[in-house]
Amino acid sequence: MHKLSVLAVVGVAVGAGVWGLGLAGWTRSPAPQGGATITGKIKFVGKAPPNPVIDMTEEAKCKAKYTAPPREQIVEVNPNQTLADVFVYVDSGVAASYKAPAPAGPVTLDQDGCRYHPHVFGILVGQTLAIKNSDGILHNIKAKAVKNRPFNISQPGVMTSERTFATREVMVPLECNVHGWMHAWLGVLPYPFFSVTGTDGTFTLKGLPPGTYKIEAWQEKYGTQTATVTITGSETKTHDFSFAAK
Amino acid sequence: MSGAGRDVPGAVVSLVLLLLGAGSAAPLAGQDTTAGKRVYVKWCAGCHGDTGAGDGPAARFMLPRPRNFTGAVYKIRSTASGQLPTDADLQRAVDDGLPGSAMPAWKGRLSDAERRAVVAYLKTFSAFFADTSQHVTPLTFSREPSSGGGAAELKRGRQFYDSIGCRKCHGDQGRGDGPSAPTLKDDAGFPILAADLHQNWRFRGGRTTADIYRRLRTGLDGTPMPSFSDLIDQKFLTDVELWRLAEYVRSLSPADSAEVRDVIHAPRIAGPLPVAPDDSAWRRVERYWFPLVGQVIRKSRWFAPAVTGVWVEAVHNDQALALRVSWDDRSQSPDPTWRAFEQRVLETVASDDSSTPRAELWPDQLAVQFPRRVPDGMERPYFLMGTATDPVYQWRWTSQPPRAVAGLARGIEQFDTVALAPATQAVYDHGEWRVVFTRALATPDTANDVQLTTGRAIPVAFFAWDGSSGEHGSRMGVSTWYFLALDRPTPPSVLLSPIVAMALTLGLGLVVVLRAQRRGAGV
């Protein structure tokens, strides 16, 4: 009885091992799932130029969605003197063999109140971008891609259109020509190592395997800054960026 | 070892696939790009540039700019928005040209082989054409519904024009004067005009209803004009409804192309002249189209005239002449909402000014030009506003202040008003100016004022300025000399002769019939 159970355990273990090997064979090279994190803040020094006020007189339906006159989102300074809407991503250093996990679902870009939500965002190569028109008035959505093929589609009512991007491109400008103030920025990457700062100005790049990475922070007006960060295990490393008013 | 064994057939398969792929797609293999390059360098590079970046020496004088081939983004395609054009799409642009732009038709100028070769060559400017993962599939276009074109269908088309927001850019009446129009830029950041839908002969992709339908399906890549195909896919609009819209857009332009005729016939009417721009009498008068081109002879030259032509109608009543000039203009200048657009136009279109002129709130203007005296022969003063020794007589109208004067022009720079100005009435209506000039045929100042007489070919020319496009002074649209002919009062003999002729015919006919009857009775 005792011998038998030992045998059974051994058998199961061997079976699992064989199955595991088989699985490894199927997926060829399994993604080196890293456990490291790079995080940091996007600090801002100086006084930002005020974002231009948007004149929505022509679009009463959008104008009605605001209590205060809406502004463009060119430089968004947080109360803690950090910047929102900064796209931080791993520019280089990711092994060519790295296979990104399948995207969880589509990324949604919403046109609401004649503004894009989000204003800056990232997407995986091949991941579906769902472009939603919540306003129910005419928008056109134009992706001025250069490495990917561009597109320009009309959405004259509440509807959702889907598109994908075939290759890495940072950043793809998105715009509406009916409403000249509507701009969004899209970073297309083959791996999920990107982050957009929010109201606290922090970014977090998770799940990095060991390696030396060049990371870049992109801001709509102030351009890019880069840093090199080396990961050895599953630690969390901090690197802050600082942009100055021009 | 087993791994290597597995890889060998894999490699063979990939190689075979690669060869097959190369064979079927044959992007450039088998096409002679050396010959294409020769043609390109000789005929195309002047505008499109040696590297195909749309930056040849002539490019900076053009609006719209020549195509930049390096991005492989093309306006006129049969494919979905964002897809590459087919070879046939590119061939059509080369063969037939792009109306409303500087791109001429090359069919007839270059041989079939040369035109095919240059298409193959211009594809080498972008890596996208060699990328076999690119889908290049023409959209399936339905046939034009046979039921279309009636009043009810056009009304439906107009409803979609409103409901899907065409008016945002193209304006309420389709003259490209919508609220978003002053903000429009192309992908390179150059100012771009929303198409004037009343001038289908300037549509890049063709003037027919089917051409318009195709542009709605594909969009014009690189411009603000989007594709409407998603609307059909999502059942937001049916395919037939999109055809209705295309039919409506087509109906805004004249049924026949605007043909240029040299002589304006001014019929003689009894009683008062239609002095108001919207007098119903104008509907009964034939209208004449005269194209305008940029003034590129004298400094400062102007290569992008905003007013592409004028429609002219004229009537007289033996005492006075009423001349109505109508033209499309996207803005009622001076208009501050177009000022940023004007600045972009001035920065984009090179001239021979020492520095880029600053956008100012110029008015819209129109000039009608006559010689001082109607010549007996073909000799006429210099068409470009006369010369110091041989001046021309002009009516000059401005939108601000809203008035017209008459005077003598001695070249572009010198204009001296005369005592008697023409009476004018003007309306600006959704992107169109309609101005009526009225003046007595004979005036006291016979030395300076042209004396308008019936039955003569009176030389006439037109000049137009759109203030919101930075047009002022020598920056203007000009026409060549045409003629105005005031119909003579009909002499009684003209009325009598048909009666005489009819009576004679009738008499002869009777004789023939009577003779025939007599002969018949005799048998």
Q: What is the mean pLDDT of residues B211-215?
A: 98
Region of A192 (left: φ > 0; alpha: ψ -120 to 50; beta: rest) is: alpha
Quick one: pLDDT at residue B198? 97
The per-residue pLDDT for range B65-95, each reduced to its tens digit, is 999 999 999 999 999 999 999 999 999 999 9
Distance from CA of B234 to the nearest CA of A (A): 8
How far apart are the two ends of chain A, measured CA to CA in Å? 80
Confidence check: pLDDT of B520 > 80: no
User: What kind and span of H or E run contains B438?
Assistant: strand B432-440
In terms of Cβ atoms closer than 10 Å to its own Cβ (0-12, 13-18, 19+), residue B378 is exposed
Given CB atoms, is A46 within the 8 Å cutoff of chain B? no
In A, which residues are within 8 Å of B230 by CB distance? 153-155, 159, 161
| Cβ B378 vs Cβ B476: under 8 Å | no
Set of chain B residues whose Cβ sits within 8 Å of the Cβ of A156: 163-165, 231, 236
What distance lies between CA B161 and its chain's CA centroid? 21
Mean pLDDT of B130-148: 90
CB-based contact, A180 to chain B, within 8 Å: yes
Report yes or no: A184 and A139 within 8 Å, Cβ to Cβ. no
Q: How far is A24 from chain B (nearest CA, A)?
A: 14
Is A167 part of the contact surface with chain B (CB cutoff 8 Å)? no
pLDDT greater than 50 at residue B3: no
SS3 B2: helix
Please name the amino acid found at residue B87: D
Q: Is B79 helix (H, G, I), strand (E, B) or coil?
A: strand
Q: Does B33 touch chain A (CB under 8 A)?
A: no
User: Hey, what are B386's tokens?
Assistant: 């006369």
A-chain residues near B184 (CB < 8 A): 177, 180
Contact (CB, 8 A) for B242 and A158: no
Nearest to A139 by CA among A163, A155, A123, A118: A155
CA A119 to chain B, closest CA, distance in angstroms equals 20
| Residue of chain A with shortest Cα separation from B227 | A153
Establish if B282 touches chain A: CB-CB under 8 angstroms: no
What pLDDT does A44 receive?
97
Give the mean model confidence (pLDDT) for residues B131-135.
90
* Residue B352, token pair as written in the block: 């021979």
Nearest-by-Cβ selection for A153 from B73, B184, B226:
B226
Q: Which residues contact B300 (CB under 8 A, 6 or more apart)?
A: B351, B352, B353, B357, B473, B474, B475
pLDDT of residue A23: 40
Range with lowest mean pLDDT among A29-33, B66-70, B128-132, B306-310? A29-33
Q: Is the pLDDT of residue B399 over 80?
A: yes
Neighbouring C-alpha atoms within 13 Å toward the C-beta of A31: 13
* Residue B2: pLDDT band with limits 50, 70, 90: very low
pLDDT at residue B31 in the model: 58
Q: Coil, strand or helix: which one is B198?
A: coil
Calculate the alpha carbon distances from B271 to B188, B281, B417 in Å.
57, 12, 30
**Taking CA atoms, what residue in A is nearest to B161?**
A156
Q: What secondary structure does DSSP assign to B373-413, as a single string?
A: S--SSS----TTT--SSS-EEEEEEEETTEEEEEEEESSSS
pLDDT at B13: 42
Interface test with A, best of B2, B6, B81 (most A CBs within 10 A): B81
Which residue is listed with tokens 């055809």?
B243
Burial classification of residue A33, based on how many CB atoms lie within 10 Å of its CB (0-12 exposed, 13-18 middle, 19 or more buried) = exposed
CA gap A194, A184 in Å, rounded: 16
Minimum CA–CA partner of B165 in chain A:
A138
- Nearest CA to CA, how far is A178 from chain B (Å)? 6
Give the best residue of A62, A152, A160 to mutate against chain B (max B CB count within 10 A): A152
Q: Decide if pLDDT at B446 tops 80.
A: yes
User: Using 50, 70 and 90 to split pLDDT, how confident is the model at B146?
Assistant: confident
Distance from CA of A89 to the nearest CA of B (A): 26
Task: Report yes or no for ipTM above 0.85.
Answer: no
Number of H helices, E strands in chain B: 12, 14
- Considering only the beta carbons, identify the residue of B81, B133, B236 that sits closest to A157: B236
Q: Are B321 and B486 in contact (CB under 8 A)?
A: yes
Whether residue B139 contacts residue B80, with contact meaning beta carbons closer than 8 Å, is answered with: yes
| Top-confidence residue, B28 or B310 | B310
CB contact under 8 A, B234 and A159: yes
Instruction: Identify the CA nearest to B280 among candidates B264, B288, B269, B290.
Output: B269
Name the burial class of residue B255, with classes exposed (0-12), middle (13-18) and buried (19+) by CB atoms within 10 angstroms of its CB: exposed
Q: Which residue of B has its CA nearest to A181?
A: B183
For residue B234 the two structure tokens come to 């999502």
Q: Which residues of B touch A150 (CB under 8 A)?
A: 73, 82, 187, 221-222
Residue B244's pLDDT is what? 96
Q: What tokens appear for B272 in the block? A: 């008062």
| Amino acid at site B34 | T
Cα B460 from chain centroid? Answer: 21
Counting one residue from A and one from B, how many pairs have CB atoms under 8 Å apart?
A: 80
Selection from B10-24, B273-287, B338-352 with the highest mean pLDDT: B273-287
- Say whether the peptide bond before residue B385 is cis (omega within 30 degrees of 0): no
Residue linked to tokens 């063709």: B206
The alpha-carbon gap from A59 to the nearest alpha carbon of chain B, in Å, equals 10
Count of helices and strands (H, E) across chain A = 2, 19
Distances (CA, A) of A95 to A39, A166, A204, A212, B260: 20, 19, 20, 10, 67
Instruction: Give the pLDDT score at B355.
Output: 79
pLDDT confidence bin for B495, thresholds 50/70/90: low
The chain B residue lying nearest A167, using CA atoms, is B133
User: Tens place of pLDDT for every residue, chain A, 246 residues?
Assistant: 455 454 444 444 444 444 444 343 333 334 446 889 999 999 999 999 999 999 999 899 999 999 999 999 999 999 999 999 999 999 999 998 898 888 889 999 999 999 999 999 999 999 999 999 999 999 999 999 999 999 999 999 999 999 999 999 999 999 999 999 999 999 999 999 999 999 999 999 999 999 999 999 999 999 999 999 999 999 999 999 999 998
**Residue A129 in contact with partner chain B when CB distance is under 8 A:** no
How far apart are the C-alpha atoms of B90 and B164, rounded to whole Å? Answer: 30
Q: Flag the least confident range among B25-34, B44-53, B249-258.
A: B25-34
- Nearest-by-Cβ selection for A152 from B134, B180, B221: B221
What's the start-to-end Cα distance of chain B, in Å?
Answer: 119
Per CB-CB distance under 8 Å, the chain A contacts of B79 are none
pLDDT at residue number B256: 86
A204 residue type, one letter: T
Q: Which residue among A142, A144, A146 sits closest to B226, beta carbon to beta carbon?
A: A142
Name chain B contacts of A58, Cβ cutoff 8 Å. Answer: 179-180
A133 inside 8 A of chain B by CB: no
* Chain A residue with the nearest C-alpha to that of B179: A58
B228 neighbourhood in chain A, CB within 8 Å: 154
Residue B85 touches partner A, C-beta closer than 8 Å: no
The pLDDT assigned to B380 comes to: 95
Q: What is the pLDDT of residue A100?
A: 86
CA distance B183 to chain A (A): 6
Q: Distance between CA B202 and CA B363 in Å, rounded?
A: 25
Write out chain A residues lying below 8 Å of B187, CB-based. 144, 150
- State pTM to two decimals: 0.85
pLDDT reported for residue B503 = 82
* Pairing of the two strands B482-486 and B457-465: antiparallel
The residue written with tokens 């010549």 in the block is B375
B232 in Cβ contact with B104 (< 8 Å): no
Q: Tell whether the model's pLDDT for residue B26 goes beyond 60.
A: no
Q: In this complex, is the C-beta atom of B295 within 8 Å of any C-beta atom belonging to chain A?
A: no
pLDDT band at B11, cuts 50/70/90? very low
Q: Which contiguous run of DSSP H or E holds residue A228?
A: strand A223-231
Q: Least CB-CB distance to A153: which of B168, B183, B227?
A: B227
Q: What does the mean pLDDT of chain B come to?
A: 91
Q: A151 vs B81: CB contact, 8 Å cut-off?
A: yes
Name which of A124, A210, A222 is nearest A167 in CA terms: A124
- Asked if B168's CB is within 8 angstroms of A155's CB, the reply is no
Mark which residues 209-228 of B lie under 8 Å from A by CB: 219, 221-228
pLDDT at B391: 97
Q: In 10 A of CB B491, how many CB atoms?
A: 8
User: What are residue A63's phi and psi, to 5 degrees?
Assistant: -55, -35
Backbone angles phi, psi at B491, to 5 degrees: -70, 150
Residue B8 confidence (pLDDT): 40
b/e string for B148-180 if b means 16 or more Cβ within 10 A?
bbeeebbebbbebbeebbbbbbbbebbbbbbbb
Tens of pLDDT along B106-120?
A: 999 999 999 999 999
Tell me what pLDDT residue A30 has: 41
φ/ψ of residue A115, rounded to 5: -140, 155
- Residue A151 sits at the chain B interface (C-beta within 8 Å): yes
Is the minimum CB–CB distance between A164 and chain B shorter than 8 Å?
Answer: no
User: Considering only CB atoms, which chain A residues are within 8 Å of B168?
Assistant: 138, 178
